[in-house]
Amino acid sequence: MSFVLRVDQQRGMDLLRQSLGSGRRRPMLMAPTGFGKTVLAAAIVASALAKHRRVCFTVPAISLIDQTVEKFFTHGIRDIGVIQADHPMTNPAMPVQVASVQTLQKRGRIPPADLVIIDEAHRWYDFYSEWMAREDWRRVPFIGLSATPWTKGLGKYYDDLIIATTTTDLIKAGHLSPFRVFAPSHPDLSKVRTVAGDYHEGDLSKAMDKAPLTADIVRTWLDKAEGRPTFVFAVDRAHAQSLANRFQSSGVSTGYIDANTPRQEREVIRRKFHAKAIQVVCNVGCLTTGVDWDVRCIVLARPTKSEMLYVQMIGRGLRTAPGKLDCLVLDHSDTTLRLGFVTDIRQDTLDDGKSRGKAKPRDKKEPLPKECPSCGILKPAKVRKCPNCGFEAKPQSSEAQGSLAELIPGKVKADMEVKQSWYSMLLHYARRRGLKPGWVAHSYRKKFGVWPSRMQDVPIEPNAEVLGYIKHLMIAHAKSKRAA
C-alpha cells in the first residue's frame, strides 16, 4: 500500500515519527476538522502493517466503528477485525483491530498490539489511563488524534503535542471552507449559572427556549440561509425539539437527532439531508465529532464557554464540498463575541491538570470580533470597513478641528460603532413613526452627550434596549409636560 499525503499531512507524519524516535510513547497529534486525520491514521496503520506489527484502533462511540472500517477499506487496508458484539467482521486473528472504548472496557480483554491509536482523543475515559499504566503496555506507543485536545488533564497521560497545521492554514490552502458569522440576536444570560466551567444546562435551556428567541432563529434562517443544508445546535432535548417544531411549522423540512436516536434513523436522516429532502437538522450534543455531512450553515442556539465545544460545532460546517463557497454561521448565542472566531482559538500545550479552576487569560494580541451595526456580520476588531455590506464607521467630531468637544458628566462613553448602531435604530424608529429628524438628534444627544455628527443614513430595526430607552424618553417627556 502506498499513500500520497498532502504536504501538511506528510508534515504531521514526519513530526510523529520524530516524536516516537526521540523516545516518547504518548504523542498527541492535533489537526483541525477536515485535515484528514483518518487518512493519516490509515497511513500510520499501513506503515505498521508493513513492519508486521499489530494495531488497535479505538473510537469513542460504536457508531464510528463502521465509518472507520469503511475509510480504511477505501485506502486499501483490509486485514481488519472488529471488536463488537455480533459484528460480521469479528476476527481476532486480524492484525488490525477496531473497537469502541466502551466495548473494550466492558469486556475487560484488550487485543495484543504493538501500536494503539486513539481517535477523538479529547473524549477521555478513565479506562485509557488504566490501560496506559499497565506494566505490559508501558512501552507500547499510544497515538492520540484530535482536533481539540484541550481536555483538562490530558497532559498527564500524553507526553508530546504535535500541531500538524491550523484552521487558518487549511482555509488558505482551500482544504477548509471560509466562513461568515452573523450575530442576529443577543440572549440574556445574566441569570444563567456556571457549573464546571460552562453554563448550567437547565438555566441555559430556560434562557434560550423563549418564544421570541426561537422565532428569531427561524426567521433569521429564512432570511439569510438561502436554504442551505443546516445543523442547529440546541441546549437540550426540549430546546432542540422546540426549534424543530418551529422550523417545521414555518414550512422547513426538519430532522431531529439526540443521543437516543437509533443508528438506523440517523442514517435515514443523513440520506434525506444529502438528498435535500431535509434542510435542517436540530440536534443536542450529537453531531460535534466524527460527522462528515455536507453542512453549509451552522446555527448556534447553544451558548457555551467551552472553546473545545465551540470549535467542534463550527467545525461541522467547514468541510469543503462541490459548489460550496463558504459556511454561514448564525450565532444566536453570542459565543463568537465572547470567544472569538474559531481561527483565533488555539492551544500550544496540553493541559496537565494543575491549572484546574483557573481561567486562562485571553491573548491580548487577539481582540474580540466586532458586530457590524449595519448588517450584523461579525468582523475582526481592527477591520473598519465591513466585508459584507461595505459599511464603514468614520471618525466623528462634534466640534471643529482644534477645539474641544463638549463633555457632559454622567453620559455614556461609547465607541463609534455603538453610536452608529444607536443612531441607525433611532432613525428607523423615527421614520416608521413619522417623527421629525430633530427627534433623532435630540434623542441621540440625551444618550451620548454630543450631537450626532458624520453618522451614516443606515436605518436598522431597533432592538429591545433601544426600544426601552425610547419608552423611557417618552415617559420622561410626558411627566415634564404634566408638571408644566
Q: Which helix (H) or strand (E) holds 208?
A: helix 201-208
**Are the CB atoms for 331 and 262 separated by under 8 Å?**
no
- Has residue 408 been placed in a domain? no
Please check whether residue 407 lies inside any domain of the structure.
no
Residues 6+ apart with CB under 8 A from 138: 25, 132
Q: Which long-range contacts (CB under 8 A, 24 or more apart) does 12-18 make?
A: 12/40, 12/162, 12/164, 12/165, 13/40, 13/43, 13/44, 15/162, 15/164, 16/44, 16/143, 16/162
Instruction: Tally Cβ neighbours within 10 Å of residue 231.
Output: 25
Would you say residue 365 lies in a domain? no
Cell readout for 23 is 523516545
Host domain of residue 31: 7-170
Domain at 74, CATH number: 3.40.50.300
- Domain boundary (359, 385, 408) is at 359
Contacts of 324 (CB under 8 A, 6+ apart): 177, 294, 296
Domain assignment present for residue 368? The answer is no
Contact 117, 143 (CB under 8 A): yes
Write the single-letter amino acid at 113. Answer: A
Domain boundary residue, one of 170, 197, 218: 170
Residue 320 within any structural domain of the chain: yes
Whether residue 293 sits in one domain with residue 161: no
Residue 223 shares a structural domain with residue 258: yes
What's the CA angle centered on 389, arms 384 and 390, to 5 degrees? Answer: 45
- Tell me, yes or no, whether 278 and 160 share the same domain: no
pLDDT digits over 197-215, tens only? 899 999 999 999 998 899 9
Using CA atoms, how far apart are residues 133 and 293, in angstroms rounded to an integer? 37
Domain-embedded: residue 404? no
Prediction pTM value: 0.77
Mean pLDDT value across the chain: 87
Q: What is the largest CA-CA distance in the chain?
A: 96
Per DSSP, 399 falls in state S
Instruction: Decide if 297 contacts 232 (C-beta within 8 A).
Output: no
Residue 279 belongs to some domain of the structure: yes
Q: Are residues 330 and 289 in the same domain?
A: yes
> Is 132:81 a contact under the CB 8 Å cutoff?
no
- One domain, residues 158 and 208: no
CA 432 to CA 135: how far, in whole Å? 76
The pLDDT of residue 393 = 64
Q: Closest Cα to residue 204, out of 183, 224, 233, 227?
A: 233
Residues 160 and 185 in one domain: no
Which residue among 359, 392, 408 closes a domain? Answer: 359
Domain count, the chain: 3
Same domain, yes or no, for 146 and 223? no
Residues of the chain with pLDDT under 70: 1-3, 290, 355-366, 393-415, 483-484
Q: Does 207 share its domain with 237?
A: yes
Q: Decide if 262 contacts 194 (C-beta within 8 A).
A: no
Bridge partners, residue 297, by sequence: 230, 328
Q: Whose CA is closest to 8, among 194, 141, 117, 170?
A: 170
Q: Are residues 334 and 209 in the same domain?
A: yes
pLDDT value of position 412: 34
Collapsed DSSP state (helix, strand, coil) of residue 150: coil
**Secondary structure of residue 307 in the 3-state scheme:** helix
- Rounded to whole angstroms, the Cα distance separating 143 from 48 reads 13
Question: 47: which residues sit within 8 A by CB, 6+ positions away?
Answer: none
The reply to whether 452 and 437 lie within a common domain is yes
Same structural domain for residues 153 and 194?
no
446 domain residue, yes or no: yes
Beta pairing class for 55-59 and 327-331: unpaired
In 147-253, the DSSP E strands lie at 160-163, 179-182, 194-195, 198-199, 230-233
In contact, 373 and 415? CB cutoff 8 Å: no
Contacts of 454 (CB under 8 A, 6+ apart): 394, 395, 396, 397
State the DSSP code for 398: S
- pLDDT for res 415: 62
Clarify whether residues 474 and 326 are in a common domain.
no
> Which residue is associated with the grid cell 507524519?
13
